[in-house]
Structure 1
Amino acid sequence: MMGGFIDAIIVRERSWGEYSMKALFRIVLAAIGVLGLLAVAVVIYATTFLDPNDLKPRLADAVRERTGLELSLNGPLSWTFYPRIGVTVEDATARLPDQSADETPFAAFRQAEARLRFPPLLSGNIEVDGFTLDGLRLNLERDAQGHGNWEALVDTVAQQDNDRPSSPSRRPQSVASAGDRPLAMDIASVQVSDGQVHFEDQQNDRNITLSSLALQASNVTSGGAFPLELSFAVEGTRPELNGTISLKSQASLDLNSAVYRLDNLALKGAMHLPAIDGAHDQTFGLNASRLAADLDRQRYSVDSAVLDGTFYLPSLGEHALPLGAEASGEVSLAEDQAKLTSFSLSSGQLLRLTGSAEARHLSDDLHWQGQVDMAPADLRSWLERLGKLPTTADAQALQRVGLSSQVEGDKRTARFTDLSVDIDDTTLEGTASLGLESPLLHAELKGDSLDLDRYLPPRSTNVTASNEAPQARTSDTTPIADAGASLNESTLALARSLDLDLNLTLETLKARKFQLENVALKAQGREGHYRLSRLNADLYDGALKASGAMNVAASSVSLSFEPQLTGVALQPLLKDVSGRDDLFRGTLNASAALSSTLEDEGSWLANLDGKASFVIADGAMMGINLPGQLCTTAAMLQGNSTSHEWGSDTEFDRFAASFDIVDGVIQNDDLNVALPGVDITGSGQIDLKAQNLDMALAARLVNTADTQGCPVSATLSHIPLPLHCSGSLGDAPAQWCRFDADAFSAILQKSAASEGREKLREHVDRQLEGKLGQRIEEKLGEASGGNLKDAIKGLFQ
Structure 2
Amino acid sequence: MKALFRIVLAAMGVLGLLAVAVVIYATTFLDPNDLKPRLADAVRERTGLELSLNGPLSWTFYPRIGVTVEDASARLPDQSDDDAPFAAFNQAEARLRFAPLLSGNIEVDGFTLDGLRLNLERDEQGRGNWETLIDTVAHQENAPAASTSRRPQRVTTAGERPLTMDVASVQVTDGRVHFDDRQHDREIALSSLALLASNVTSGDAFPLELSFAVESSQPEMTGNVSLKSQASLDLNDAVYTLNGLALKGAARLPALDSARDQNFSLNAPRLVADLNQQRYTFEKAAFDGALHLSSLGEPALPLGGEISGEVSLRDDHAVLTEFALSSGQLLRLTGSGEADQLSDDLHWQGQVEMAPADLRSWLERLGQLPATADAQALQRVGFSSRVEGDRHVARLTDLAIDVDGTALEGEASLGLEAPLLHADLEGSTLDLDRYLPPKATQPPQAEGTPQVRESETAQTTGQKASSSENARALARALDLALALRLEALRVRGIQLENVTLKAQGREGRYRLPELAAELYDGTLRASGTMNVAASSTALSFEPRLADVALQPLLRDALDRDNLFRGTLNARATLSSSFDNNASPLAHLDGKAAFEIADGAMMGINLPGQLCTTAAMLQGNSTSHEWGSDTGFDEFAATFDIVDGVIKNDDLKVALPGIDITGNGQIDLGAQNLDMALAARLVDTADTQGCPVSNTLSRIPLPLHCSGDLKDAPAQWCRFDTGAFRAILQKTAANEGQEKLREHLDRQLEGRLGQRIEEKLGEDSGSNLRNAIKGLFQ
Q: Distance in 2 between matches of 1:142 and 1:96?
A: 14
Q: Distance in 2 between matches of 1:310 and 1:487?
A: 28
Q: Which has the larger radius of gyration?
A: 1
1:439 to 2:409 alignment: no
Q: Distance in 2 between matches of 1:467 and 1:121?
A: 95
Aligned-residue offset at 1:704? 2.6
The alignment partner of 2:134 has SS state of helix
1:186 to 2:166 alignment: yes
Match of 2:267 among 277, 287, 311: 287
1:201 to 2:201 alignment: no
1:661 to 2:661 alignment: no
1:591 to 2:594 alignment: no
Residues 378 and 709 of structure 1, relative CA distance in 2, 3 Å threshold: farther
Asked whether the 8 Å contact 2:421–2:481 carries over to 1, the reply is yes
Asked whether the 8 Å contact 1:676–1:708 carries over to 2, the reply is no
Q: Distance in 2 between matches of 1:402 and 1:54?
A: 72
Match of 2:376 among 396, 399, 407: 396
Which position in structure 2 is the counterpart of 1:351?
A: 331
Residues 336 and 144 of structure 1, relative CA distance in 2, 3 Å threshold: closer
Q: Distance in 2 between matches of 1:318 and 1:189?
A: 45
The alignment partner of 1:493 has SS state of helix
Which position in structure 2 is the counterpart of 1:7?
A: none
The alignment partner of 1:57 has SS state of helix
Q: Deviations over 1:514-541 (max 9, x none)?
A: 2111112122222222211222212122
Asked whether the 8 Å contact 1:486–1:602 carries over to 2, the reply is no
Asked whether the 8 Å contact 1:369–1:409 carries over to 2, the reply is yes
Asked whether the 8 Å contact 2:57–2:68 carries over to 1, the reply is yes
Following superposition of structure 1 onto structure 2, how do residues 558-569 of structure 1 map, counting pairs within 5 Å? Answer: 558-569=538-549
Residues 268 and 585 of structure 1, relative CA distance in 2, 3 Å threshold: same
Residues 245 and 667 of structure 1, relative CA distance in 2, 3 Å threshold: same
Asked whether the 8 Å contact 1:207–1:239 carries over to 2, the reply is no
1:371 to 2:369 alignment: no
Which position in structure 2 is the counterpart of 1:131?
A: 111
Residues 163 and 353 of structure 1, relative CA distance in 2, 3 Å threshold: same
Q: Deviations over 1:33-57 (max 9, x none)?
A: 2211111111111112212122222
Asked whether the 8 Å contact 2:383–2:400 carries over to 1, the reply is yes
The alignment partner of 2:88 has SS state of strand
Task: Compute the TM-score of the two structures, normalised by the length of structure 1.
Answer: 0.85
Aligned-residue offset at 1:727? 3.6
1:235 to 2:224 alignment: no
Aligned-residue offset at 1:140? 2.6
1:615 to 2:602 alignment: no
Aligned residues with identical type, % of pairs: 76
Which sections of structure 2, spanning at least 5 residues, go unmatched? 451-463, 738-777
Q: Distance in 1 between matches of 2:149 and 2:204?
A: 21
Q: Distance in 2 between matches of 1:37 and 1:466?
A: 104
Asked whether the 8 Å contact 2:354–2:383 carries over to 1, the reply is yes
Which position in structure 2 is the counterpart of 1:545?
A: 525
Give the partner amino acid of 1:721. L
The alignment partner of 1:54 has SS state of helix
Task: Compute the TM-score of the two structures, normalised by the length of structure 2.
Answer: 0.87
Aligned-residue offset at 1:143? 4.7
Q: Distance in 2 between matches of 1:570 and 1:230?
A: 76
Which position in structure 2 is the counterpart of 1:721?
A: 701
Match of 2:27 among 44, 47, 54: 47
Q: Distance in 2 between matches of 1:263 and 1:282?
A: 26
RMSD of aligned alpha carbons: 3.0
Asked whether the 8 Å contact 1:170–1:257 carries over to 2, the reply is no
Match of 1:70 among 44, 47, 50: 50
Q: Distance in 1 between matches of 2:638 and 2:136?
A: 84
Aligned-residue offset at 1:372? 0.5
Aligned-residue offset at 1:742? 2.3
Which sections of structure 1, spanning at least 5 residues, go unmatched? 1-18, 471-483, 758-797
Residues 610 and 487 of structure 1, relative CA distance in 2, 3 Å threshold: farther
Asked whether the 8 Å contact 1:52–1:79 carries over to 2, the reply is yes
Following superposition of structure 1 onto structure 2, how do residues 449-460 of structure 1 map, counting pairs within 5 Å? Answer: 449-458=429-438
Which position in structure 2 is the counterpart of 1:304?
A: 284
Following superposition of structure 1 onto structure 2, how do residues 157-172 of structure 1 map, counting pairs within 5 Å? Answer: 157-165=137-145
Residues 536 and 110 of structure 1, relative CA distance in 2, 3 Å threshold: same
The alignment partner of 2:592 has SS state of strand
Q: Distance in 2 between matches of 1:488 and 1:340?
A: 39
Which position in structure 1 is the counterpart of 2:6?
A: 26
Give the partner amino acid of 2:430. L
The alignment partner of 1:94 has SS state of strand
Aligned-residue offset at 1:730? 5.0
Residues 171 and 465 of structure 1, relative CA distance in 2, 3 Å threshold: farther
Aligned-residue offset at 1:262? 0.9
Q: Distance in 1 between matches of 2:593 and 2:83?
A: 82
Aligned-residue offset at 1:102? 5.5
Q: Distance in 2 between matches of 1:252 and 1:719?
A: 108
The alignment partner of 2:515 has SS state of strand
Asked whether the 8 Å contact 2:60–2:66 carries over to 1, the reply is yes
Residues 485 and 740 of structure 1, relative CA distance in 2, 3 Å threshold: farther
Match of 1:37 among 14, 17, 38: 17
Aligned-residue offset at 1:166? 9.4
The alignment partner of 1:492 has SS state of helix
Residues 468 and 633 of structure 1, relative CA distance in 2, 3 Å threshold: farther
Q: Deviations over 1:459-503 (max 9, x none)?
A: 556799999999xxxxxxxxxxxxx99962221121122222212
Match of 1:120 among 81, 100, 104: 100
Q: Deviations over 1:395-415 (max 9, x none)?
A: 322111111111112222211
Q: Deviations over 1:642-690 (max 9, x none)?
A: 5656555432122111111112221111111111111122211222334
Which position in structure 1 is the counterpart of 2:732?
A: 752
With 660-669 and 630-639 compared, the bigger mean Cα shift is at 630-639
Match of 2:608 among 618, 623, 628: 628
Following superposition of structure 1 onto structure 2, how do residues 598-747 of structure 1 map, counting pairs within 5 Å? Answer: 598-642=578-622, 646-707=626-687, 710-729=690-709, 733-747=713-727
Aligned pairs, how many?
Answer: 725
Match of 1:427 among 404, 407, 418: 407
Aligned-residue offset at 1:24? 3.1
Asked whether the 8 Å contact 1:593–1:610 carries over to 2, the reply is yes
The alignment partner of 1:602 has SS state of coil
Q: Distance in 2 between matches of 1:703 and 1:737?
A: 26
Aligned-residue offset at 1:286? 0.4
Following superposition of structure 1 onto structure 2, how do residues 209-228 of structure 1 map, counting pairs within 5 Å? Answer: 209-228=189-208
Residues 110 and 467 of structure 1, relative CA distance in 2, 3 Å threshold: closer
Q: Distance in 2 between matches of 1:118 and 1:442?
A: 72
Residues 265 and 486 of structure 1, relative CA distance in 2, 3 Å threshold: closer
Residues 669 and 466 of structure 1, relative CA distance in 2, 3 Å threshold: farther
Give the partner amino acid of 1:669. D
Asked whether the 8 Å contact 1:676–1:709 carries over to 2, the reply is no
Q: Deviations over 1:61-114 (max 9, x none)?
A: 222333333333233222222232111122223334445556543322222111
Which position in structure 2 is the counterpart of 1:778?
A: none
Q: Distance in 2 between matches of 1:467 and 1:276?
A: 39
Asked whether the 8 Å contact 1:698–1:723 carries over to 2, the reply is yes
Give the partner amino acid of 1:320. A
Q: Deviations over 1:254-275 (max 9, x none)?
A: 1111111111110010112233
